[in-house]
Structures are given as C-alpha cells and as structure tokens.
Structure 1
Amino acid sequence: MHLQFITGDEAAARLDVDVTRFVIAGWAGRDRDAVLHHIRELEALGVPAPGAVPLFYRVATNQLSQNALLEVVGNETSGEAEPFVFFHRGECWVSLTSDHTDRYLETFSVALSKQACIKPVASGAWRMREVAEHWDALELTSWIKEQGEWVVYQQGSLSSLLTPQALLTRYLEGETAADGLAMSCGTLSTIGGIRPASEFRMALHDPVLGRTLEHTYRTGALPVVA
C-alpha cells in the first residue's frame, strides 16, 4: 500500500512510502494490570481472552488508508488510537493509526475482525530518533462523537505501552527490520467502555518538542445483507 507523509523535516519533507508488511500488535500494555483491564473490556463484549500477550496479527496492507471517510459493514465498529511505526529508506518513522475493528465479528475471531475494517493512518510523521529518548512522555488521545459532541474516549501517555523497539524485537525474532514493514503498536483502555461510533478523532502529542500528529475520520455503514 502506498502512503504519503508530511514530516516538517527539510531533509525529508515528504515521504512516499510503500508498505509491504503490516502488523498489528495486540495486548501490548507494559502494565499487566492494564492489559488485564483491556482483556476484561473485550470479554464483556464476548471476545475470548488471548492465549498469550502480546500477540501479532498480520493484516493486508490494502487495509491502510489516509482517507477521512471510510465504509464499514453494519453499525458495530469502533476505532482505537495507536502509535504507528514504519521503516523507510533504512530509518524508523512514527505516525498514528486507528485499529478500527468490527466488534461483532471480534466475538468470533479477533484475527478476522482486524482484517475486516480499514485502518486509518494520519498524514504526518516524525523520525523515531527524534522522540525515542522521551517516548514515554508522548500523549495519546482519542475522541468519539456522541449526540453531536466530541467526548474523550482514550487518554494517557505511551509509558503504559510496550515500546515499538520491544514489540519489534519480539515480532522479528532476530530478523532485521526492512523497508516496507509497518506496525500498529497497541492501544489504551477506553473511558466509559468500548462502544460503536461513526466519528473518531485521534492525536499523538509530543510535549517535549511541542508538536502533534492528528487525524479525524468518519464511517458510513453499508447494509448487512443476509
């Protein structure tokens, strides 16, 4: 999948990236209690607990999109803001994605639910080396629109998640990360429980360098035809 990023970097102001392998890291919390909380959130929706944590789901690269309008089947889908890292020209970059998921399908198969929905990606990116030393200070927030108002849905620092380096080490098992690899690096617990929403906004804020990656999208529901 071909993605384009704006970096604000004079040396690489625009990136034209071909993602050839896309991985979603699930159950990627650093704090075991937080992971168990997220597992319980999903169990309340009928989603079976994972056999191990973290888990890595391969997803088709054509599911990545930088569009602001997506189409989904039915009304039981919702987003989850996540850091997104990718490798391009020998360097690791950071952006932002939503692991938009079909919650009904998730009760049957988490892997299939990951594949069923398009994954929105922000159009901005940072060099990993610019944020690696203060990674834990980065702040992830998402909002959903309910009754016409934006409501905070997730909020917290990345200190609660395993670092991309830790996740990549576990996933690659000694393999060297190659250009074209992209990973969605885990999410935070929701505020008020996981619930469907057709409008989703997300932001990754760097309080040290004073900048923010953000993306807003909405979904249109296609009919469920039996």
Structure 2
Amino acid sequence: MSTRRHPQPPGEGPGLPDDLAAGLALQIHNLGRRLDELDGLPTRVDDVTRLVGQLTDTVTAVAARRGPAPAPSWLMAPGDPQEVRSLLDQLCAWLAAIFLRYPDGASCLPECWLWHPDVVEELLWLMHAWGNAYQGAGASVGAAGDWHDRQRPGVVNRIRRSAGSCSREAHQTRQGWSRPQSAAPDVPGTDGLDAVADWWATRREDAAPEPADPTGGDDRR
C-alpha cells in the first residue's frame, strides 16, 4: 500500500543548489548596479541635448559669417586680357565714384597711372578695402574710419611720391628723355642664392658668407 505524500507548504521544499543560488545572487547584484548607473541618465541625456543644440547654433553662425574676399593683385593678375580688362573696368568705375571725389585723391593721380604697376596695385587693394569697410560681411563704422584715417591717406601719399609728377609724355620714347621704370626690375644679388641657402640651412649660427666680388675679381686678403 502506497503512502500518499502531502504537498509541502511554500518555503519548506528542498532549497536551490548552492551554485545556482550563488549565480542568481550575482546576477541580481549586477542588475542592481546597472540600475544605479541609470539613475542619472535622464540628466545626462538632457546635458547632451543642450550641448548638441549649442554646437548646432555655433556651426550655423560660423557658416553664415562669410569672411572678407581677398583683393586681386595687379602684379599677379591672370594672363587673360579679358580678365585683366575686367579688373581695370571695375577699378575705373570705383575711382570715378569714390576715390576721385576726394580732392587729394584727384590731385595725386597722374594721367599716366595705368603705366605704373605699383599705382594700379595700390588702388586695387584700396578699392577692396573700401568694399569690406562699407559693404562686406564685416562692414562697420570702425572699418570705415580706418579706411579714411589710415588706408586712403597712405595710398595717396605713396602715389604722390612715386608718380605724382609723372605724365604720359614721360612714358614715350624721345631722344634725350629718360623713361620711368615700368618693366619688372631684376632681383639684385641672385648670384648669392646658393651660398646663402647653404649657410642659412646648415650653419646659420655662424657668420654669413662673404658675397662675391661683382667685378669678378677677389680682393679679399
């Protein structure tokens, strides 16, 4: 005759194996640590969102702030006659509208200014400086004041010194007349390029090498 076994009350049955209980305890402990780490997550997400918003605003502002355009150089102008003529047309329009309105500007500019590359170079950059001061992205009262107080008077003075007394006739070939320099001059001293390059690259702490005698002799004792 079999003996009926009554069901055991909850909590009174045989316990879990020790290794299984230990594993569950470790998992519960690790889960608790992860939950603790997530306590500050909403705050960190809010901080990241705020920083991303600030970065977006900064990038947008930088992208919208265009820098001033570089001034073209007459001395380094392209070899296309149409592009060069376009530069001159723009410059002449600006001279008539702005530069020649100033009495000292009108009096300093000789009729042969086009035959003076240095004068054209000065006027080109001055035109672009005016554009940046009055019409560019960085236009300001301070930039306009600097153009009036420093840049324009400086160009006027240099033009007056270099070409103020010149004339178109001075650029014509006539017997007994000396013509002003208009071609690019030779760079002086190029016979010493190798010696100076070697000195500066390898022993610049020493005294510079003596230049060669331009007559071809050697009078060093």
TM-score (norm 1): 0.21
| Bigger radius of gyration among the two | 2
Comparing both structures, which one devotes a greater share of its residues to strand?
A: 1
